[in-house]
Amino acid sequence: MTILGDLAIQRQALLRLIPRELSENTMSTKRVVLVMLAPLVFTASLVAQDTVSAKLALTPPMGWNSWNKFACNVSEDMIREMADAMVKSGMKDAGYQYVVIDDCWQVSRDENGNIVADPQRFPSGIKALADYIHSLDLKFGIYSDAGSKTCAGRPGGLGHEYQDALQYAAWGVDYLKYDWCNTTTQHAEASYANIRAALDAAGRPIVLSICEWGKAQPWLWGKEVGGNLWRTTGDIQDRWSGKKEWKPGDCCSYGVVDIIDAEAELYSYAGPGHWNDPDMLEVGNGGMTDVEYRSHFSLWAILAAPLIAGNDLRNMRPEIRDILTNKEVIAINQDPLGMQGRRVSKSGDREVWVKQLKDGRRAVILLNRGPSEQNVVVNWEEIGNPDHLSAAVRDLWQHKELGKFTAKFGATVPSHGVVMVTVTP
């Protein structure tokens, strides 16, 4: 609905609120009341209209972020090369769009409180970098923090939200990841509502990535405050399983299967414009086998997770590039219905995950978390299809039709591996 349409409806609603004695009175009385209530109408329209943020990220955002591979070692040269590589590797063609600098691009604030980029590492300035990325028809993302300092100790956004948002808009920022370090007594929902309001006031559509690690259950309020994605857990680590404390008493970074366990019950909160974020991809960073990376990517796809690559795109092995650019798997992630996949069965190390697609097909993952290969079976009834149905099964990693199956489909799945298929009635 248009803003004007909204306002017309709100005017009618206000007229209904005016007491009968008044409304039976003269038009001029009505006018006075309307004028008195006008600020309310305006405020309500800001809150209740179809906001810009709700129209962003209608499918899970896809891109690249510097943190998982480079941490604080960021520079304009490296980010440009990564944008070039995103184009040359075929990732842009596969749908990757956002090039995001994570922590450590900023060093201080100037005497007017403006955020200052590291002059040694970003000598041409952030605007020039954003322009370059836009010239490749890609989008540009940046990172800050709701607290006084970022997680790496750089200046945070607290108290500078509107000033920073104006700066980001002037630079051409399209995506903001907003972290949660050094927030002391801040209220998470209010803090993220504040930065969203600041971004909206700056007038540029900017995807808001809430990075609060799931502590205040952002899936319950992230959409309402205009977040487009929200982290559900602590940081991913480049390994298959196991939680690891940052330091004694400070929990944790997570392996792939620990993260999917944390996401499994959150499916109802995801949808177009607002996604659960199980953290960025580790595919290609060296800590897992290719089988495990294929599982990691497949699971993120079926979870309707943002697909934000975190490896060095300039020198990927072909096997890694083939994982990140598998268009059949990406299409499952980007399905316009925007449903997050669910775990529908678990028997020891064997699991079945399903995601309903807009055209009625189902995407299915047969997952083997165990130490040796085993057979994993999906029954049609588990995925909402009748038992007697004869359905076509297509393997999304072999790119091959496997034939028609009635009642169920099973396959041998390697240790830590997946078989990912679509089931077409």
Residues 6 or more apart whose CB falls under 8 angstroms from that of 319 comprise 290
Region label for 320, one of left (φ > 0), alpha (ψ between -120 and 50) or beta (otherwise): alpha
Tokens for 320, please give them. Answer: 């890694």
Nearer to ligand GLA, 245 or 319 (CB): 245
Regarding 103 and contact with ligand GLA (CB under 6 A), the answer is yes
Cα distances (angstroms) measured from residue 320 to each of 68, 296, 332: 16, 12, 19
- CA dist 402 and 411 (Å) reads 11
Q: Which residue is nearest to ligand GLA (CB)?
A: 151
Question: Residue from 102, 174, 238, 292 that binds ligand GLA (CB under 6 A)?
Answer: 102
Look at residue 297 and give its three-state secondary structure: helix
For residues 316-375, which are near ligand GLA according to CB under 6 A? Answer: none
Binding mask 21-60 for ligand GLA (x = CB under 6 A): ----------------------------------------
DSSP 337-373: T-PPPEEEEEETTEEEEEEE-TTS-EEEEEEE-SSS-
Nearer to ligand GLA, 182 or 415 (CB): 182
Strand pairing category for 374-379 and 408-413: antiparallel
CB neighbours (10 Å) of residue 372? 8
Interface with ligand GLA (CB under 6 A), residue total 9
Nearer to ligand GLA, 105 or 269 (CB): 105
Four-CA torsion 210, 216, 219, 223, nearest 10 degrees: -60
- CA dist 5 and 12 (Å) reads 11
Regarding 151 and contact with ligand GLA (CB under 6 A), the answer is yes
Nearer to ligand GLA, 10 or 150 (CB): 150
Taking the complex as a whole, the smallest distance from the CB of residue 67 to ligand GLA amounts, in Å, to 5
Regarding 179 and contact with ligand GLA (CB under 6 A), the answer is yes
Regarding 235 and contact with ligand GLA (CB under 6 A), the answer is yes
Taking the complex as a whole, the smallest distance from the CB of residue 235 to ligand GLA amounts, in Å, to 5
For residues 405-424, which are near ligand GLA according to CB under 6 A? Answer: none
Exposure b/e, 139-159, CB count within 10 A at least 16 = b = bbbbbbbbbbbbbbebbbbbe
Tokens for 60, please give them. Answer: 């899970």
Element (DSSP H or E) covering residue 276: strand 275-277
Taking the complex as a whole, the smallest distance from the CB of residue 412 to ligand GLA amounts, in Å, to 36
Taking the complex as a whole, the smallest distance from the CB of residue 309 to ligand GLA amounts, in Å, to 14
Taking the complex as a whole, the smallest distance from the CB of residue 102 to ligand GLA amounts, in Å, to 5
Nearer to ligand GLA, 238 or 335 (CB): 238
Nearer to ligand GLA, 100 or 130 (CB): 100
Taking the complex as a whole, the smallest distance from the CB of residue 43 to ligand GLA amounts, in Å, to 34
Taking the complex as a whole, the smallest distance from the CB of residue 424 to ligand GLA amounts, in Å, to 37
Q: Which residue blocks in 95-245 are alpha helix, DSSP H?
A: 126-135, 161-171, 188-202
Taking the complex as a whole, the smallest distance from the CB of residue 179 to ligand GLA amounts, in Å, to 5
Q: Which stretch binds ligand GLA (CB under 6 A): 18-26, 35-43, 134-142, 145-153?
A: 145-153
Q: Which stretch binds ligand GLA (CB under 6 A): 4-12, 144-152, 351-359, 379-387?
A: 144-152
Cα distances (angstroms) measured from residue 329 to each of 170, 226, 303, 419: 36, 28, 12, 11
Q: Which stretch binds ligand GLA (CB under 6 A): 149-157, 342-350, 387-395, 408-416?
A: 149-157
Compute and round to an integer the Cα radius of gyration of the chain.
24
Catalytically active residues are 179, 235
- CA dist 83 and 133 (Å) reads 6
* Footprint of ligand GLA (CB under 6 A): 67, 102-103, 150-152, 179, 211, 235
